[in-house]
Amino acid sequence: MHNMPVEVVKISSGLKLRKRRGFALLYFALGVLLFALLLFFMNAQKAFSRIIGINLASLGDSILYEVAEDIDSSVYEDISVIERSEGGAVASVSVDPYKANLLRSAYVNRLSAVLADRERLAVAIPLGNFSGNIFLSGRGPKVRVYAMSVGNSGADIESSFSSAGINQTVHTVYINAEITLRAVYPFSETLTRKVKIPVSETVIVGSVPGAYFGLGE
């Protein structure tokens, strides 16, 4: 009869110990699960950002080229000025500064109008693209992601010579265009795209002129 209380105490202590071990295992399992979920979401966020970045780059490039196509060619017609000697040889090549300013203004104004149109700054990405599986790429419902213009977006004019074969030189006038975009979602990074768009080419037959006056020179 005197031993029964002792046995009850031992049984109670054993139950408490098993409960503590059970809670410890449960907490450990929850910790592992939370850590796995954290890694999953971190990797998913990186994959999401990478896919968004690729699509924003494509969107930025297409906008810059489309804006150039929208400009009336009369704005930059005869932008290259060629002067010849009495013998007919090319004496100098220069860029008409008035035409260059018109071209730059026309481009910047058109770019500003496009960037003000919210629908032009949207990309539709198939959900399968975020899976990282090539078999699912391009499949599934499309996720519409909007971007906004941030920082400096604009253009300047540049010109250069390049060889076009034997005794031929090409004088090319470019628009150096730039756009900076950011996707409208948390943790989005800023993306800047720069393109060099040729708008005028003049073929010069003969030797390169001794005088060449480009923009900024």
Q: For 6-50, write each residue's pLDDT tens digit.
A: 444 444 555 555 666 666 677 667 777 776 656 555 555 666 777
Q: How many helices (H) and strands (E) would you count in the chain?
A: 2, 8
Average pLDDT, the chain: 77
Q: What is d(CA 119, CA 59) in angstroms, rounded to the nearest whole number? A: 12
Mean pLDDT of 142-151: 83
Name residue 137's amino acid.
S
The proportion of the chain whose per-residue pLDDT surpasses 70, expressed as a percent, equals 73
pLDDT at 99: 92
Q: What is d(CA 187, CA 129) in angstroms, rounded to the nearest whole number? A: 19
Range of lowest pLDDT (58-62, 73-77, 165-169): 165-169
CA dihedral 210, 214, 216, 217 (to 10 degrees): 0
Which two three-digit tokens encode residue 25?
């295992």
Name residue 33's amino acid.
L
Mean pLDDT of 149-175: 84
Say if residue 217's pLDDT is above 50.
Answer: no
